[in-house]
Amino acid sequence: QAASADTLLLTAARLLDIRDGSFVENAALLVEDGRIVAAGPRGDIEAPPGARRLDLPGATLLPGLIDMHVHLTSSPDYHGFRRLALSDERKAIQGVVHAERTLYAGFTTVRNVGAGSFGDVALRDAIEAGEVPGPRLFVSGPPVGITGGHCSDNNLLPAEYGLEGEGVADGPWAARAAVRRNIKYGVDLIKTCSTGGVLSKGTKVGAPQYSVEELTALVDEAHSRGLRVASHAHGAEGIRNALEAGVDTIEHGSFIDDSGIRLAKKKGAWLGMDIYVTEFILGEGEEKGILSESLEKERMTGETQRENFRKAVEAGVKMIYSTDAGVYPHGHNARQLSRMVTFGMTPLQALQAATLNSAEALDKDGELGALEPGYLADVIAVQGNPLDDIRLLESVHFVMRDGVVYKHSRAQD
Ligand code: ARG
């Protein structure tokens, strides 16, 4: 049950300083009208008379997590041809359930990168209006891309069915027009695909989609209207094309090579590598309807992506937290943190990717991603020290968003 937002003194055993990994022991957080007004040792913070108080004994407070790549209107139970049976309305209804699950898992902000019929715009607005619980959403609407391409089109049926994706746009001017249409219907960012993908029929992960000319037009149109661009890209050439064109975030980045790494650093682009989802695709994918050609593509992609994740981290590319939840179950978003540690990050770096860095890539630094005065009161808690055991983030027991408590369950120990 959501409590009302006013003035609240939240106390806990400790608070993680996400910038340097230090802890404030016996911590307190003063929250007023949805924002943090003070954070520090309990003794230093005075609550105004009448403030509500909430103590979380033994808990560590952290900023709410951010996932930059989810598909709330996609269900992991409907892959391949099964998805054709779901209307956009049905997917939107599933999205309501998925949004709640995501919030309860500690993700107080997510970026939704691809949804039909602007179902993600509707979901964002319903959450904003307080009609349904969910994370703060930044949404793309339909991805913009080429005919027959990954994420923009749908290649499952023969020509006589006339199945075509909403965001198909060939040529620079068509790409600009598609961006304009998406903005008209309320999106916060533009999603495009500059290579083929794993889960689409008949596309190749290594093959570029769009010319640099088309991508440049798309990015220019989006940037001139104040929106950022996320590009799905697995293959090295398509990654470079997108970076050349000036996209803000590269999603997947599986086959990024040294020149791609250099270019990402030079351009200041962020890299969001979804290195958990391969476990689901190769584990449960087949029984969920994932096409055998997709399973084949995943076998050629997942491992290399993990090796390249390590390379990118070592090279100092700016990393965000992108999981592709929706391919696998919503609410399992935090599972990737431990994989990021296995493949080269410190626990603090993994947490920074999912807070500070992602906030910056959303252009929301100073508001999201830290527990500091002036920030929105998005707070989660785990029992114990998350820098010793990153998997604690998989069982978040307290969730506050905008100063409203959505989850407060009994701590496990
Ligand atoms: N949506 C992505 C695609 O179809 C999923 C890629 C998952 N595999 C991976 N190794 N990250 O291309």
Give residue-wise pLDDT tens across range 107-130: 999 999 999 999 999 999 999 999
* Protein residue with its CA nearest to atom 5 in ligand 1: 198
Select from 383, 376, 374 the least CA-distant residue to 404: 376
Give residue-wise pLDDT tens across range 14-24: 999 999 999 99
Instruction: Give me the residue label for tokens 């990737």.
Output: 336
**What is the total residue count of the chain?**
413
Domain 7-64+369-408 superfamily per CATH:
Urease, subunit C, domain 1 (2.30.40.10)
Atom of ligand 1 nearest to the CA of 275: 11
Asked whether 198 lines ligand 1 (CB < 6 A), one says: yes
pLDDT at position 412 over 80: no
Equal CATH topology for 7-64+369-408 and 65-361: no
CA of 50 relative to ligand 1 center, distance in Å: 51
Beta bridge partners of 270: 249, 318
pLDDT at position 411 over 70: no
Report the percentage of the chain scoring pLDDT > 70: 98
State mean pLDDT over 245-273. 98
* Distinct helix (H) and strand (E) counts, the chain: 12, 15
Q: What is the mean pLDDT of the chain?
A: 97
Q: Are 17 and 26 in contact (CB under 8 A)?
A: no
pLDDT at position 1 over 60: no
CA of 92 relative to ligand 1 center, distance in Å: 22
Select from 201, 262, 194 the least CA-distant residue to 233: 194
User: Which pLDDT does position 410 carry in this prediction?
Assistant: 76
Please work out, in degrees rounded to the nearest 5, the angle formed at the alpha carbon of residue 306 by the alpha carbons of 341 and 255. Answer: 145
ipTM over cut 0.95: yes
- CA 201 – CA 233 distance, rounded (Å): 16
User: Which pLDDT does position 57 carry in this prediction?
Assistant: 96
Give residue-wise pLDDT tens across range 186-199: 999 999 999 999 99
* Protein residue with its CA nearest to atom 6 in ligand 1: 198
| Residue 3 banded pLDDT, cuts 50, 70, 90 | very low
Give residue-wise pLDDT tens across range 210-249: 999 999 999 999 999 999 999 999 999 999 999 999 999 9
State mean pLDDT over 172-190. 98
Query: May I ask the CATH architecture of the domain 65-361?
Result: Alpha-Beta Barrel (3.20)
| Residue 163 banded pLDDT, cuts 50, 70, 90 | very high
User: Which pLDDT does position 102 carry in this prediction?
Assistant: 99
Q: Are 221 and 176 in contact (CB under 8 A)?
A: yes
Q: Using CB atoms within 10 Å of the CB of residue 72, give its burial: 0 to 12 exposed, 13 to 18 middle, 19+ buried.
A: buried
pLDDT at position 5 over 60: no
User: Which pLDDT does position 134 carry in this prediction?
Assistant: 98
pLDDT at position 353 over 50: yes
Asked whether 233 lines ligand 1 (CB < 6 A), one says: no
pLDDT at position 330 over 80: yes
Q: Where do the structural domains in the chain lie, given as residue ranges?
A: 7-64+369-408, 65-361
Asked whether 214 lines ligand 1 (CB < 6 A), one says: no
Pocket test for ligand 1, best of 284, 324, 339 (most atoms within 8 A of CB): 324
